Amino acid sequence: MKILIENEIYPIDLLQEVFDDPKFYKQNGLDGTITSVGYYHSFEKNSLVFMLPKVFMKDKEKTVFGCEKSELVDLIKNESIKHKTQYNWVRQLSVHFYNSLTEFKKRYTDTSIIHNTETFELNTNLGDKEYSFLDLLLSFVNFYKKNKQQILFKHIEFVSNQAKKPKWEKTIRKSLPILANGKTPIYVEITNKKKIINTEEELLTYFFSILNRLSTEHNLNLKIDKSFNLIKGQSFDRLCLNGSAKLRKIKHRYFNDTLKKMYVLCEMYFSQFDKSSIKRKREDFLAISNYNLVFEDMVDKLFSDELNTLEVDGITIDKLKNNDDGKIIDHIYDYKSLIDTSNIFYIGDSKYYKSDSSAGKVSKYKQFTYAKNVIQFNIDLLNKKGQNHLGSLRYRDKTTEGYNISPNFFIYGYIDDIENYDIHSIKKKGKPIPSCHFEDRLFDRDTLFVHQYKINFLYVLKAYTNFNEFEIQSFRKEIKDTFRNHFLDFFNDKEDCGFEFYESLLKTEDYETFVEKNFKKLNGKCFCTIDNRLLLAKHNDDNELDEILKHFKKIEKLE
């Protein structure tokens, strides 16, 4: 197995050694740059390759595994680092990573999660019901680990049935027994005058010969009991060429479920070498050239997947995700407002970068556009159908013409611990990003703040295929509360957000007259909540509200 990383440069000789053609890399002189993320296997070159996402790079040469990218290529065969703790992640990561690609392939086939406005290319030669070489390899390993005791018992039983008139003195003298339960000796090689060929043993020989070849080629370190007969070297190579024919001759002998499953696995393996088989392939692969779409879908399945077809207060979320101007929002969900009992849409954007990178100016401007599109969509509904149609959602207050605060966030993938698949490790990343036309107007539709978070990429990878609905719902509840509390902490700190909050002492029926009288001073600074509280957000540098503050009391803490 070779491990390469997206967007990294490798010697062209190495790439030509493992790939049958250059569709997964771009050549530049004597070097080539990996342009895809995914899995690749060549039957002719006997190469198994994983092209990992760029999030696995820490800096220019160092990976998150603590080794250089050049060392990572042949990690399994590199004796200098083979026994370090970094080596333990290889098999677990390869399985989760491959499963995530197949899950995305399935979701892309079955649903419309990818839209025509996106440039999308999932590159594969595997049909919906076809298996890859890695599927086969994992099936062999999993079947063996699950059934090895039962298979060994069958083998011992077969060998025992071969013995007629055994010579126990010679058997004991010339062979070593297996100790059952640490006490009872069992002899698997019995010396006798007459031996009967047990045809059941053929299938076991084929199965364990294949398993031994897989273990040797891909350094699986499987321990195969020495009592099994194995075909190795050139003899095994010859077996691969006529293995399908040999299997067909013994197919009728097996009725036991375990043996029948072994037969199917062997048949699948030998079919790859059978030149007459329609299943035979020169290579198999599952790769994508824009992995940001996969990361986006993995995060969206955690945050808001079920909302794609959901209606919230009569609003179809799919319509909000796909804006009329062609913009597509990565993640959107409704949750408690920051200032009252209404709900508001939280809008998120996945950021697929290397582990230590941050969003640039273009990403920030795009996020502000996403938020403004959602606000405008709700305002259009408000104008056309009224607040009753919006239900618990509250975007604009008619009395003050102020706008509710719209929470926004970026979510980055990162890797700190290569063995951590079970803790999301969501952390704040940098400071919130502000955007406004008028710095002192918090309740203005153009005043927005984007919080930044990073999430454990390996947790997202595992959750994408392994989590059940209960686990996903638990995650969503925790994260929704966490994000809202972070926004509240931000606005409760006047030094961070730049504002202090006040609540009016006036009677509800006097709000409208008061706002109209002081509209020029209060424009964008006031908001009447769904529970009829008139709030004022005073900027730290605003000195025009001294008279107005007589009618308000300070709010010590937003909750």
Six token digits for residue 500: 């202090």
C-alpha span between 421 and 343 (Å, rounded)? 32
- Considering the domain architecture, whether residues 313 and 210 belong to the same structural domain is answered as no
Contact 139, 265 (CB under 8 A): yes
pLDDT at 237: 87
pLDDT at 60: 79
Q: What would the pLDDT profile of 452-475 be if each residue is shown by its tens digit?
A: 999 999 999 999 988 888 899 999
The answer to pTM > 0.85 is: no
- Considering the domain architecture, whether residues 180 and 159 belong to the same structural domain is answered as yes
Domain end: 288, 322, 349, which one?
A: 288
Q: What would the pLDDT profile of 397-410 be if each residue is shown by its tens digit?
A: 888 989 999 999 99
Any domain includes 92:
yes
Any domain includes 441:
yes
- Considering the domain architecture, whether residues 49 and 72 belong to the same structural domain is answered as yes
Domain end: 483, 513, 543, which one?
A: 483
- Considering the domain architecture, whether residues 242 and 382 belong to the same structural domain is answered as no
- Considering the domain architecture, whether residues 469 and 364 belong to the same structural domain is answered as yes
C-alpha span between 241 and 410 (Å, rounded)? 54
- Considering the domain architecture, whether residues 62 and 137 belong to the same structural domain is answered as no
pLDDT per residue of the chain (559 residues) written in tens, 0 to 9 = 788 999 999 999 999 988 987 888 999 989 999 998 888 888 778 788 889 999 998 877 788 888 888 888 876 555 443 444 445 566 678 888 888 888 888 877 654 333 333 333 455 555 555 567 777 887 888 888 887 776 765 555 555 555 556 666 777 777 777 776 667 777 666 666 555 445 557 888 888 898 888 888 776 777 887 777 788 889 988 888 888 888 888 877 766 777 888 888 888 888 877 665 555 567 778 888 888 888 988 998 888 755 444 455 555 666 677 766 666 778 888 889 999 888 888 988 888 877 666 676 777 778 888 888 888 877 777 777 666 656 677 788 888 989 999 999 999 999 988 888 999 999 998 888 888 889 999 999 889 999 999 999 999 999 998 888 889 999 999 999 999 999 999 999 988 899 999 999 999 999 999 999 999 999 999 999 988 899 999 999 888 888 899 999 999 898 8
- Considering the domain architecture, whether residues 113 and 163 belong to the same structural domain is answered as no
- Considering the domain architecture, whether residues 169 and 226 belong to the same structural domain is answered as yes
Hey, CA dihedral for 545, 550, 551, 557, is it positive or negative? Answer: positive
- Considering the domain architecture, whether residues 301 and 264 belong to the same structural domain is answered as no
Domain end: 460, 483, 506, which one?
A: 483
pLDDT at 114: 37
The total domain count for the chain is: 3
Rg (CA), the chain: 32
Six token digits for residue 550: 């007589």
C-alpha span between 546 and 21 (Å, rounded)? 73
C-alpha span between 460 and 134 (Å, rounded)? 22
- Considering the domain architecture, whether residues 369 and 408 belong to the same structural domain is answered as yes
pLDDT at 475: 92
Any domain includes 400:
yes
C-alpha span between 239 and 237 (Å, rounded)? 5
Any domain includes 535:
no
- Nearest one of 54, 98, 47, 56 to 76, comparing CA atoms: 47
- Nearest one of 198, 232, 239, 193 to 216, comparing CA atoms: 232
Any domain includes 385:
yes
List the domain range (segments joined by +) for residue 456.
292-483
Contact 518, 477 (CB under 8 A): no
Any domain includes 169:
yes
β-strand pairing of 9-11 with 283-288 = unpaired
Any domain includes 277:
no
Query: b/e string for 300-318 if b means 16 or more Cβ within 10 A?
Result: bbbbbbebbeeebeebebe
pLDDT at 202: 83
What are residue 280's phi and psi, to 5 degrees?
-70, 130
Any domain includes 11:
yes
pLDDT at 92: 77
- Considering the domain architecture, whether residues 340 and 261 belong to the same structural domain is answered as no
- Considering the domain architecture, whether residues 150 and 233 belong to the same structural domain is answered as yes
Q: DSSP characters for 293-360? A: HHHHHHHHHHHTGGGGG-EETTEEHHHHHB-TTS-B-SEEEEEE-SSSSSEEEEEEEEE---TT----
